[in-house]
Structure 1
């Protein structure tokens, strides 16, 4: 290998990075690049919170590469054009990347791969983001899994996922080529700068991911059975780091199968099951590429959604519904770019069922405000709440925010964290009982079509 170009995407790490590991192991100069592709057809633009995270993650990765004798090359534009330019600029004979699974992303990668091969280049791709790639698991009839439990059983019957690859000690630098300045990409909010809560909550980058994992193992895993309590320190906080590939599922799988205390060992399967739910959503997206915009269950195309006013939607978006647990969750989301998983179900159910607002409205808001928004989990989880997805909660299961607060936040610790005790609360925008009845009537109307 006379020279290699490693094209990073949702794999912003050095440890357990198959594309980077193969390039470094083969010897020769290595150019490591990230392409901000906001031009190729079919790609969904990042939301505001995701752009904030991406800036921090790229800065951290560049610092890590510089400590190993290299740097991160940044280019912006359609990937097919930019990769051609980088191959020409670096004289690389080999191009390596880790695979992506969205339909538009796969189409882009396939086109680039074929073009490079036709011109005599070597192209390598590898599995890095999923433990079980979508085409490796199928039912006995050769069909995709549509229910999580049999998917999880089939996954557990697969060979043990490979061991994580080591972090390179050095990364031999490629030729000096032009790179964009990260600040010129304008990923950070400025007018206004609404990211103060994000900065106070998160440390994007591989080191931040490692610190989160250490904290979870030391303080959260033993109490993981309390993860439905939003005030408990039991959730891992790893979701955005996994989404951006700052830590791999292979690292997590083997760490959770490694040396653990007896209490940690009892809770590890529950965490791994949550990791597998992410895999299941990607399995679904691979086979249902329009999952963010199209009902997986077509009968929901006839659902009589309400056309909510902008004021109604803003009351939900900014935590002014008058329903304490809903408002606490939406304020947590706005401040931190994340929301406790149990509360996500509650606020989603409230929007879709109590307000009768199309789930796609909520999916789009979460896409813009979550630091961990990814194409599969965001769409899959919203369709789960709406009842329109595979293995979804039935529509008639309506989460009552007051009962959920009584059960999971009985001392109102979480609610008080986000709603000051002296705040004058608005009247609830809907009556929970009558709006539930309205939702069930709408569901019966859909079924009668």
Structure 2
């Protein structure tokens, strides 16, 4: 049983099939190139996740085998060592994973090994949702209408027993993989904010449904308050399944908690990202709308881009959101829209610069959601809203952080008694930035109004 981004025991179709086979099950993780290519924060968080999964399996009388190398080679070697007749895994959908898994499945089958892939990372397989004309959906709202009444499989229970082999194969020590190296001192700052493993994810879901989902529709836009599910971290690594979240949301909606309807739409927004990645994989590294290919975005590491990365733009909403990411490993969704819009439109910088930075910094990194979010904000992605939507980060702050509670939580400069979280930012960031809470908070590098006018002028001179 090859675990990848499905680090749970419940509602796990591949694991259930393996246990139901009646044969001994050898749980396995592989540190292959796909893991080595992860950014600093998602690689570290994946490492925490698989080690936690190992503990959960030990509690069931099983164990997790750690191996590193090219995935097919690792699997073939382990098959030779153990005499295994089957390899099961949960599907992934990014192009590299699809190519790798397709090759592995074909090769193993040719060698007489039963190689099977299962769903579980998504509620709806991307190829099962089509428009009336047989194409794929390019706009979210009709996609939502097409799936909102579809049957979502009920979550599966945790397997009752894990049959062990007579002899366990050798395992590497994941501590030797040094997956936290890229985090440097930031690991100690972010670690208290991590909610690790399946049990923590279920607790998050339960607490959200009990006390926050009713007002989620309005509450999700208030960054200073804990009014979202915070499940993105766990969904990204499969520590909870979307099916479990969906059915909990449906129950809440049936109980009269109106905000649950919006929560269900957000789960389908995640599905839409994967739908697009499957049908148009270029969304990961190219403009989804190809007529943006000639747009003169900046791609260099300018002083303005550095200021954006450091959370020192002088635009409070942008800077607070960036600092939240360095301290917690995540960023409030309203903040994500604001920082992305500011980089792409006020600073006229390519969305791929921001995408790559988030790839490195987010513990809830997800390939499809990150790419679609950046392209949506830049205007080059799937969006029914005109390209000239430019968020004003000042008026957005007035609307969603009127009392500046969010700003006070994350920005320390020029404050007599800075919040502990704001001070933690200086412990998390690279020492090379040479920043201190005693610094003076900067003036805006590009004021909100001036940046909007410059962006609109650039757009109006393009033939979209």
TM-score, structure 2 normalization: 0.91
Query: Residues 304-348 of structure 1: CA distance to partner in whole angstroms, max 9, x if unpaired?
Result: 113554432221011100111110000001111111001110110
Q: What SS does the corresponding residue of 1:89 show, helix, strand or coil?
A: helix
Aligned position for 2:288: 296
Match of 1:169 in 2: 160
Whether 1:241 aligns to 2:234 is yes
Give the TM-score of the pair, scaled to structure 1: 0.94
1:83 equivalent in alignment to 2:75: yes
Structure 1 residue 22 and structure 2 residue 38: aligned?
no
Q: Distance in 1 between matches of 2:306 and 2:81?
A: 48
Match of 2:363 among 344, 366, 371: 371
Give the Å deviation of 1:140.
1.1
* Unmatched tracts of structure 1, length 5 or more: 1-5
Corresponding residue number in structure 2 for 1:256: 249
Is the Cα contact below 8 Å between 2:40 and 2:182 reproduced in 1?
no
Q: Which residue of 2 aligns with 1:446?
A: 462
| Number of the residue aligned with 2:453 | 437
Aligned: 1:193 with 2:185: yes
Is the 1:383–1:392 Cα contact (8 Å) retained in structure 2? Answer: no
Deviations 1:146-185 (A, max 9, x none): 0111111111243x11111111233112331111111111
Tell whether the 8 Å contact from 2:317 to 2:335 is kept in structure 1 after alignment.
yes
Of residues 250, 272, 290 in structure 1, which corresponds to 2:264?
272
SS at match of 1:384: helix
Write out aligned runs for 1:309-320 (5 A). Answer: 309-320=301-312
Residue 431 of structure 1: CA displacement? 2.1
Once the two structures are superposed, what CA deviation does each residue of 1:182-214 show, in whole Å capped at 9, x if it has no partner? 111111137832122321111221122112112
The 8 Å contact of residues 201 and 234 in structure 2, kept in 1 or not, is answered as: yes
- 2:123 partner SS: coil
Equivalent position of 1:220 in the other structure: 212
| 1:258-407 mapped onto 2 (5 Å cutoff) | 258=251, 262-264=255-257, 266-391=258-383, 393-407=385-399
User: Match of 1:446, SS?
Assistant: coil
Equivalence for 1:3: none
Task: Give the deviation of 1:55 after TM superposition.
Answer: 1.5
Any conservation in 2 of the 1:385–1:393 contact (CA below 8 Å)?
no
Alpha carbons 2:326, 2:361 under 8 Å: kept:
yes
1:307–1:79 distance in 2 versus 1, CA, 3 Å: closer
SS at match of 2:230: coil
Alignment-derived partner of residue 85 in structure 2 = 93
Question: How big is the shift at 1:231?
Answer: 1.3
Q: Quick one: distance in 2 between partners of 1:44 and 1:297?
A: 30
Shifted more, 318-327 versus 166-175: the winner is 166-175
Number of residue pairs matched by the alignment = 438
Structure 2 stretches lacking a partner, 5+ long: 417-436
* Structure 1 residues 239 and 332: CA distance shift in structure 2, 3 A: same
CA offset at residue 414 of structure 1?
Answer: 0.7
CA contact (8 A) 1:300 1:446 kept: no
Residue pair 2:5, 2:238 contacting (<8 A) in 1 also: yes
Aligned to 1:425: 441
Q: Deviation per CA, 1:128-153, whole angstroms, max 9, x where unpaired?
A: 11111110001111111001111111
Kept in 2, the 8 Å contact 1:9–1:34? The answer is: yes
CA deviation map 1:63-104 (0-9, x unaligned): 010011111111111111111112112211111111111122
